[in-house]
Homo-oligomer: A and B are copies of this chain.
Amino acid sequence: MRKVASLAGVSVATVSRFLNGTARVSDAKRTTLENVIGRLNFKPNMLAQGLKMGSSRTIGVLTPPLGSDYRNDMLNGIDQAMSAAGYAPLIVSGHRHADDEVERIELLIARRVDGLVILTDKLPDQQILGFSARVPIVAFGRELNGANAFGFGLDNYQAACELAEYLICLGHRSIAFIAGPGQADAAARLAGYLDTLARHGIDADPGLIVPGDWTEAGGVLAVSRLLESGRRFSAIFAANDLAAYGARLALYRRSIRVPEDISIVGFDDLHSSMYATPPLTTVHQPLCEAGRRIGEALLMLIDGKPCRIDIPPMHLVVRESVRRI
């Protein structure tokens, strides 16, 4: 910058003012500066700016290990919202343990991120609230309402009810459920299934509820167990699409047709679900949209404004993996 200043015959202060439009600069110096800066291809050092301004124009995003296409849509949305505001996301993936994630967050704070997005579910709410004293945080998948932190989730319960309702309307009474491991989302989905059954006066058979682990392999295993148990069921409600894929494969292996013999529904609406064989009936999670909301909420928080966001709704998307019986 000093170089620019001397070449343009002005002070560094003027250069700065020109760059940021902080104050009027005379037209003469204005054009000279434009010239010199263009010639030198000068770009202000954002590290220095950040140091001075106390803001890195960077946010941290703590995600589950990258790779499932599930949360990538959300990252996409966050990116859209933030990059429009000149922020760049530092994406770090959480790992096995909560301790590990604490460390990643400390690192992000050391980098002086202006805000934090937490997409993982290992950390207790209390700890997040604690961090929020140091940096604004918005978290996904949990209700949170601190002064400097905000958390929300999509309405899994409602969507699960809708899905179960749909199955029941089509005549299904014996519906197996492949559960996810114990997080909030998993519980809400299971509760939606259970309550809807109850509302229709159907006794849920506990033997029809089998554990999964959100993966395809878990789905395969769950269905194998179900089949071996000898229990009868006409439909499978998988707590997520991946498990539904696994379930579908387990059925295929045994030459059980979908949906003629057994119906399947998933949850998430991954991109491939539309192209599965048969296309999977599932619940669409507006992840990209949610990501955008997260970004906007964080921007508000960073600005010191209270944030209020309306949660985008999920909706049932009917395709071809369920038949009326």
**CB-based contact A67/B69 at 8 Å:** yes
User: Which of chain B's residues has its CB closest to A73's CB?
Assistant: B67
Contact of A3 with B by CB under 8 A = no
Size bracket, chain A contacts:
35 or more
Contact of A35 with B by CB under 8 A = no
Most chain B beta carbons < 10 A, residue from A47, A108, A252? A47
**A220 partner residues in chain B, CB cutoff 8 A:** 275
Contact of A269 with B by CB under 8 A = no
**CB-based contact B83/A46 at 8 Å:** no
Contact of A306 with B by CB under 8 A = no
Instruction: Decide yes or no: A65 and B76 within 8 Å by CB, A43-B110, A246-B275 being known contacts.
Output: yes
Binding site for B on A (CB under 8 A): 43-48, 50-51, 56, 58, 65-69, 72-73, 75-76, 79, 83, 88-93, 106-112, 216, 220, 245-246, 248-249, 252, 270-272, 274-279, 288
CB proximity of A282 to chain B, nearest CB, Å: 14
**CB-based contact A67/B72 at 8 Å:** yes
A-B contact pairs, 23 of them (CB 8 A): A43-B109, A44-B110, A46-B111, A47-B47, A47-B50, A47-B56, A51-B51, A58-B90, A58-B111, A67-B288, A79-B92, A79-B93, A88-B90, A88-B92, A88-B107, A89-B90, A90-B90, A216-B275, A220-B275, A246-B275, A248-B277, A249-B279, A276-B276
Query: Chain A: interface secondary structure?
Result: helix
**A277 partner residues in chain B, CB cutoff 8 A:** 248-249, 252, 276-277
User: Which of chain B's residues has its CB closest to A251's CB?
Assistant: B277
Among B44, B45, B252, the residue within 8 A (CB) of A51 is: B45
**CB-based contact B66/A75 at 8 Å:** yes
- A277 vs B58: C-alpha distance when bound (angstroms): 43
User: Which of chain B's residues has its CB closest to A79's CB?
Assistant: B93
- A308 vs B115: C-alpha distance when bound (angstroms): 38
User: Which of chain B's residues has its CB closest to A89's CB?
Assistant: B91
When A and B form their complex, which 6 residue pairs have the shortest distance between CB atoms, in order from nearest?
A69-B69, A277-B277, A43-B110, A245-B275, A216-B275, A47-B50
- A158 vs B177: C-alpha distance when bound (angstroms): 44
